[in-house]
Chain A
């Protein structure tokens, strides 16, 4: 298996990704090319329908691109998805947990799906639960949780196996500032061992957390760089949100 070291520190390289869904003529992705360095928190930003979820779905093995290539740790995602799956983690936008299982039981199930077992599995579960601040309620069923607790448990299920690359699809949507703050803190603390691809509509989050940001619209990159570089590059923009509106316009996207 290839390693990050053999790919010049690039953990993910996507070249000319094109995705045209059946029955549509407009491509969802139109030649997207990105590369992500190890240890980076990579912000993938864009308005609704820009192609963020499609890009993540291709990169995390869910979707085959119409054309183009993606490698993760040097492994071709399209040709060898099963090899890539052990290296990545995914925190979906929805609460992808079994509501009738406890948080611990959910993590145990997902841990087993990642191939963990025995004491190592139980150790990871305890670490995960502690990391997201659910120690007191780990043995409660998920349906009894608040929105913030569910989001935190959702995150724990994605990082249980310590992935090399973690995809986070709007992980803080619809929760209170306390839970959001905890999630952002924990993600920032994980950057040493886990590279992240982060999508969000909260620009202040991206500005705070991401080391590199790509803004896409209509499946194409319209701006990229560190948040500071991007803000400084456009006169009159004091923050990422202002920059985002300037670049993508005020027209509503559905």
Chain B
């Protein structure tokens, strides 16, 4: 009989949800849209098509080796699109600064006039200072290096710090390469002359022009490829061989976020029942409070699982059609179902607690929504936990979304199995039991209501 009542309660909840169009939008369409939008925004999907490269304005007032070197290296990187003219006109610095400040372009690189000449002089001076052959003093004869005009990079103030720091880093790498190349060139010129001068002096009358051919010459015709390669390898539990991509990292994160948003309709349904006397009516019936809330929990867990399946289908079927990578769901479907189920229970337990404690729907919906966003931020849904300050990292371990995300990532990108996610699943289930128990206890204490 208790089961009959429970399933009637579940059926009633699902019927009410089915007939609530706005509620359905919130529960199904919004999370799917959220996952699609966030993934498409973060996925560098158009990069391969050359359409989303960062737009960089380049003003080359130098027009020589350094300017050409910077331009060529940036072009070769494939990450930026170099723009040297606007509306058919050569870009000047005033025009460029204005366009970047307005956010029309992300960067402007201004290569100053005479940089190559100053660069060469300084490189030559630097090499000369480092050579000591015989009594040709190197460091002892250090001359004052000439000043090199600054290479200026203007960036859009709305640009994230990581982004412009990345650009500065790339430019420094390019300049370092040009500098090394220039220094080697000068070194290859100066070293044989130095050796010849020193040998001539040491041999005196015994010097013959025949010796000249024996002096080592440096040829700079070596392979330009780096001697040592940096190889990317994914550290994982299982046999996952694919490199994790944005889809695999975003889908679980935002799926979890969407699942936790059931707290809003769930606590709303509890508060409405309390306010219109429905709960009082139910509590005078031969049905336990546990059955009443279990009916709600089961209904909302079903909703969460449908959400999860929908988003998985979107990841598998829709994302490739939109040009992103296909979702690789890892190697353990059982683990994924277990995580989704635990997360759904944790979210439902939280909704029950909020719906029991909050006095009004406005209170519950605002607090519920904001607290889920905070838990998501703390849990690494928006920004990875490892980049957070230490104190936030310490707090993040208390976020149920952090447990869920960690478990999902274990399966999605680390190749984990059921065993690997048991600690997080245990935490989520404990959270569910705790929140439900607190709700039950609070209810039993409020006005000493009979709720057995």
**Which residues of chain A have a CB within 8 Å of any CB of chain B?**
21, 57, 60-64, 81-82, 85-86, 88-90, 92-98, 100-101, 105, 109-110, 112-115, 117, 141, 157-158, 167
Contacts and interface: CB of A to CB of B under 8 A. Distances in A.
B394 interface: no
Nearest to A21: B447
A92 B280 contact: yes
B284 A90 contact: yes
A96 B16 contact: no
Given A64-B448, A113-B5, A157 B281 contact: yes
Interface in B5-33: 5, 8-9, 12, 15-16, 19-20
B153 to A, nearest CB: 59
A81 B447 CA distance: 16
A167 B8 CA distance: 25
A85 B286 contact: yes
B285 A96 contact: no
A96 B450 CA distance: 19
A26 B4 CA distance: 44
A167 B285 CA distance: 12
Contacts of A105: 12, 15
B1 A115 contact: yes
Contact of A113 (B16, B276, B287, B447): B287
Contacts of A167: 284
A112 B9 CA distance: 9
A188 to B, nearest CB: 23
Given A92-B277, A93-B277, A115-B1, A61 B283 contact: yes
Contact of B5 (A82, A86, A112, A158): A112
Given A85-B285, A92-B281, A113-B285, A101 B450 contact: no
A96 B274 CA distance: 9
Given A93-B277, A98-B278, A100-B19, A62 B284 contact: yes
B118 to A, nearest CB: 78
Q: How large is the interface on B (under 10, 10 to 19, 20 to 34, 35 or more residues)?
A: 20 to 34
Contacts of A63: 447-450
**Chain A CB within 10 Å — which of B4, B12, B275 has the most?**
B12
Contacts of A81: 450, 452
Contacts of A21: 447
Given A105-B15, A115-B1, A62 B450 contact: yes
B241 to A, nearest CB: 50
B286 A114 contact: yes
B23 to A, nearest CB: 10
20 contacts: A62-B280, A62-B283, A63-B447, A64-B448, A81-B450, A82-B288, A85-B285, A92-B281, A94-B276, A94-B277, A96-B281, A109-B8, A109-B9, A110-B285, A113-B8, A114-B285, A115-B1, A115-B4, A115-B286, A141-B19
Contacts of B46: none
Nearest to A54: B447
B395 interface: no
Contacts of A93: 277
B86 interface: no
A96 B276 contact: yes
**Chain A CB within 10 Å — which of B277, B447, B448, B450 has the most?**
B450
A141 B5 CA distance: 22
B281 A82 contact: no
A61 B284 CA distance: 6
A254 B16 CA distance: 36
Contacts of A89: 284
**Chain B CB within 10 Å — which of A85, A97, A98 has the most?**
A98
A100 B283 contact: no
Contacts of A90: 280-281, 284
A112 B447 CA distance: 27
For the complex of A and B, the 3 pairs showing the least CB-CB separation, nearest first, are A94-B277, A92-B277, A112-B8
B8 A88 contact: no
Contacts of A88: 284
B309 interface: no
Contacts of B447: 21, 63
B282 interface: yes
Nearest to B11: A109
B367 to A, nearest CB: 23
Interface string B261-298: 00000000000000111101111111110000000000
Nearest to B8: A112
Nearest to A98: B16
Nearest to A59: B284
Contacts of A64: 448-450
Contact of B16 (A57, A100, A115): A100
Contacts of B5: 112-113, 115
A85 B15 CA distance: 26
Contacts of B278: 96-98
B99 to A, nearest CB: 54
Contacts of A85: 284-287
Nearest to B445: A22
Contacts of B280: 57, 62, 90, 92, 96
Contacts of A157: 281
A168 B450 CA distance: 19
**Chain B CB within 10 Å — which of A81, A95, A157 has the most?**
A81
Interface in B401-452: 447-450, 452
Given A90-B284, A101-B19, 9 more contacts: A82-B286, A82-B452, A92-B280, A96-B276, A112-B8, A113-B9, A113-B285, A113-B287, A115-B286
A21 B447 CA distance: 7
A202 to B, nearest CB: 19
A105 B8 CA distance: 11
Contacts of A112: 4-5, 8
A97 B16 CA distance: 12
Contacts of B16: 98, 100-101
Contacts of A110: 281, 285
B143 to A, nearest CB: 88
A88 B275 CA distance: 22
Contacts of B449: 62-64
B120 to A, nearest CB: 80
Nearest to A111: B8
B15 A101 contact: yes
A240 to B, nearest CB: 27
